[in-house]
């Protein structure tokens, strides 16, 4: 139990301030209702602990972030509680008490308080754009306005779960090669600094003509030994610089152009963007969002710059009366033929949302299978790369021995 102070109004509209003892904030609302008061704000009273004095809770709030899996769970649970008949405010209170994440807990408290003050649910969520994106807010708004909030939440949880699953599969396929490459780089650096100097010292003392590969390795080794800190710092700076560059406007355009044209990976990238476009549009349209607004939100969800431009063009052309399918049919360089054809069928039958959902399921399955295949392909490619690296080093070290033998 703890003490809380709530500010509010009584039945005549007069402002009141009461200090009460309760288990949690939800219990304070119950007590206030029993007193005939409407609560405007609640704060914990008499907390002079170390955590309060040094504002540790606020620090935890700003350092934590809401993960995709947590948001999926919150959305699914909210939908289930609303279906079971719980009021929205009480459902949010349950989520608040269940959550271990300080940021999510704080957001839920504020959202609930905003709703109790008269805000719409989507308006309260829109105050936290870093937690609830445009897609989330738009679907909640459509659900509230149509009276189908629980259905909108369930649709949204499925959308988010599929999107998160797709992202995890792609990242999972890339983890193994990245780890192997990092280990190879670390081993190469250690050999250049600690192993090569002892070998090159022997070669230099023999005064023989060394092969080009050996001289390259010796030069790299000498530089890294003489400027170890500078060399390692330069490598780290290069990596950070490359990552930063691909986050700039020009870098995004370059990566967006190159990735879909790469062998194997390019086809997966196209199917990922197709699945994301179809899934997002389907979820929005089925929730009652108009097609123009749905296209604009979908443009924010996709990451590739050129796909964003196609969807933005689609929004403009549909607004002028052009069929949605025609835009996708014209851009078969990025969207597979099936996308435009399925949307066309949806337009003819009046079932665009259903067709888009089928498209999303199909391409999500394709991406899942191809990422598995990619993992199988990457392993032998990495083995060849590792073998080539070891072979290059061995050749550079063995060749001088033959040169020395020939000179004797």
pLDDT, tens digit only, all 408 positions of the chain: 667 787 888 877 778 888 887 766 667 777 888 888 877 777 766 554 444 444 445 555 555 678 888 899 999 999 999 998 888 888 888 888 888 888 888 888 889 888 888 889 999 999 888 888 888 888 898 888 888 888 889 888 888 888 888 888 888 878 888 888 888 888 888 888 888 887 777 777 766 677 788 888 888 888 888 888 888 898 899 989 998 998 899 999 999 999 999 888 889 899 999 998 999 899 888 888 889 989 988 888 888 999 999 999 999 999 999 999 999 999 988 999 999 999 999 999 989 999 999 999 999 889 888 888 877 788 788 888 888 888 888 887 777 776 666 555
Residue 87, SS3 per DSSP? coil
Neighbour tally for 287: CB within 10 Å? 25
61-159 has which fold?
Receptor-associated Protein (1.20.81)
**What Rg, from alpha-carbon coordinates, does the chain have?**
30
Average pLDDT of the chain is: 84
Q: Which residues pair with 5 in a beta bridge?
A: 19, 43
What's the pLDDT at 310? 93
Contact indicator for 86, 105 with CB cutoff of 8 Å = no
Q: Where are the domains of the chain?
A: 2-47, 61-159, 160-408
Same fold, 61-159 and 160-408: yes
Q: Which residues contact 233 (CB under 8 A, 6 or more apart)?
A: none
What's the pLDDT at 328? 92
Say how far apart CA 285 and CA 292 lie, in whole Å: 10
Half-sphere exposure of residue 50: CA atoms within 13 angstroms, side-chain side: 0
Q: Which of 402, 405, 408, 406 is nearest to 214 (CA)?
A: 402
- The pTM (predicted TM-score) of the whole model is 0.70
For residue 271, what are its two tokens? 């199917």
Half-sphere exposure of residue 340: CA atoms within 13 angstroms, side-chain side: 17
Q: Which CATH number fits domain 160-408: 3.30.420.80, 3.20.20.70, 1.10.3720.10, 1.20.81.30?
A: 1.20.81.30
Quick: pLDDT tens for 277-326.
Answer: 999 899 888 888 889 989 988 888 888 999 999 999 999 999 999 999 99
Alpha-carbon distances, residue 154 vs 73, 80, 125, 131, 314 (angstroms) = 11, 8, 17, 18, 28
Say how far apart CA 17 and CA 33 lie, in whole Å: 13
Neighbour tally for 1: CB within 10 Å? 7
Q: Which of 334, 291, 278, 284 is nearest to 309 (CA)?
A: 334
Phi-psi region of 308 (alpha: psi -120 to 50; beta: other; left: phi over 0): alpha
Contact indicator for 22, 45 with CB cutoff of 8 Å = no
What's the pLDDT at 206? 67
């Amino acid at each position: 139990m703890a003490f809380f102070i709530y500010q509010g109004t009584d039945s005549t509209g007069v402002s009141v301030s009461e200090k009460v003892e309760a288990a949690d904030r939800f219990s304070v609302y119950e007590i206030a209702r029993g007193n005939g008061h409407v609560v405007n704000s609640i704060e914990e009273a008499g907390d002079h602990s170390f955590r309060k004095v040094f504002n540790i809770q606020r620090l935890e709030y700003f350092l934590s972030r809401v993960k995709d899996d947590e948001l999926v769970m919150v959305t699914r649970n909210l939908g289930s509680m609303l279906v079971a008949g719980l009021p929205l405010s009480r459902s949010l209170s349950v989520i608040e008490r269940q959550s271990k994440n300080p940021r999510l807990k704080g957001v839920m408290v504020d959202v609930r308080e905003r709703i109790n003050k008269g805000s719409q649910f989507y308006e309260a969520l829109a105050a936290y754009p870093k937690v609830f994106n445009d897609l989330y807010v738009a679907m909640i708004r459509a659900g509230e306005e149509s009276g189908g909030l629980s259905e909108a939440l369930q649709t949204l949880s499925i959308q988010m779960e599929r999107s998160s699953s797709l992202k995890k599969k792609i990242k999972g396929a890339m983890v193994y090669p990245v780890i192997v490459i990092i280990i190879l780089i670390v081993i190469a650096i250690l050999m250049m600094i600690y192993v090569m100097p002892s070998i090159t010292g022997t070669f230099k003392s023999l005064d023989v003509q060394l092969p080009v590969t050996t001289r390259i390795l010796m030069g790299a080794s000498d530089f890294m030994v003489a400027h170890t800190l500078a060399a390692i710092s330069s490598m780290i700076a290069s990596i950070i610089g490359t990552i930063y560059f691909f986050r700039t406007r020009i870098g995004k355009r370059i990566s967006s152009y190159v990735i879909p044209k790469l062998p194997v990976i390019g086809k997966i990238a196209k199917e990922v963007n197709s699945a994301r476009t179809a899934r997002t549009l389907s979820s929005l349209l089925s929730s009652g969002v108009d097609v123009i607004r749905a296209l604009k939100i979908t443009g924010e969800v996709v990451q590739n710059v050129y796909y964003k431009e196609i969807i933005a063009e689609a929004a403009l052309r549909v607004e002028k009366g052009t069929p949605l399918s025609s835009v996708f049919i014209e851009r078969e360089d990025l969207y597979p033929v099936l996308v435009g054809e399925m949307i066309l069928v949806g337009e003819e039958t009046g079932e665009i949302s259903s067709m888009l959902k089928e498209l999303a399921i199909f391409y999500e399955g394709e991406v899942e299978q191809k990422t598995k295949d990619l993992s199988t392909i990457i392993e032998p490619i990495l083995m060849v790369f590792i073998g080539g690296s070891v072979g290059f080093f061995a050749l550079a070290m063995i060749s001088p021995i033959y040169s020395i033998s020939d000179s004797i």
